[in-house]
Chains A and B, each alone.
Chain A
Amino acid sequence: MIDKKFHVQISESTLDQSIAKKFVKSNSHGACTIFEGVTRDHSDNRKVEFLEYECYKPMAIKKLEQICAEIIEKWEVKISILHRIGKLEIGEVSLIVATGSPHRKEGIQACEYSVDRIKEIVPIWKKEFFEGGSIWIEDENGFRPFS
């Protein structure tokens, strides 16, 4: 049986870190790196009340899988990416990336690469609700689908 090296999930309910951690675990690994993206209570000078994430799910899944494929091509790791969508309160986790690797360096590099890449090519959008209004967080410079 081929050992699957990556796992992705997009969910409307609370993300479970143990699923990601369990997936990347292996007796041959000496490192497990976990990144969590958490909803912050401020943005620029605004007091954020909550966030809403929207996605184009079939394409987002495909692009997350593409990122995982890029990663396992570059580093000897197992990787799990979980992304939350829908309404998130302050302090809730929006993204979990877990990598398992024989040594720490490749796991940390792969984790950082995936978080940057998610923001470049995965069609998931964030709307910030703050006192007195709401705004879609869009950054044309941060979006490089063809690179």
Chain B
Amino acid sequence: MEIEVLFFASYREKSGVKSYCFEISAGSNLKELIYKIVQKFPKLHSDPTKIVAAINEEFSDQSQILCEGDIVALIPPVSGGSK
């Protein structure tokens, strides 16, 4: 099945795309998708387990199973902290 992935801010610049469709097998989880994304765009992150992602606009654990039609967004750390 096909999953659309959205890239923002530093991830958009590192990948060079705003969105990209990945083909994954049914029953795959977010972790498996992120592994594919990082294979395609290795500059994204040195440690894929640390990538935060949202499925259909909700922050999601990497163990979550993906469904046909889901939209995944990779969420770079937001500008913040205590400043």
Contacts and interface: CB of A to CB of B under 8 A. Distances in A.
Interface string A119-136: 111111111000000001
Nearest to B73: A56
A55 B6 CA distance: 12
A17 B82 CA distance: 24
Contact of B80 (A54, A56, A139): A139
A125 B81 CA distance: 12
Interface size class of A (residues with CB under 8 A): 20 to 34
B8 A54 contact: yes
B57 to A, nearest CB: 4
B52 interface: yes
Interface in A17-56: 54-56
Contacts of A120: 78, 80
A62 B55 CA distance: 13
A115 to B, nearest CB: 10
B8 A139 contact: no
Contacts of B73: 56, 59, 123
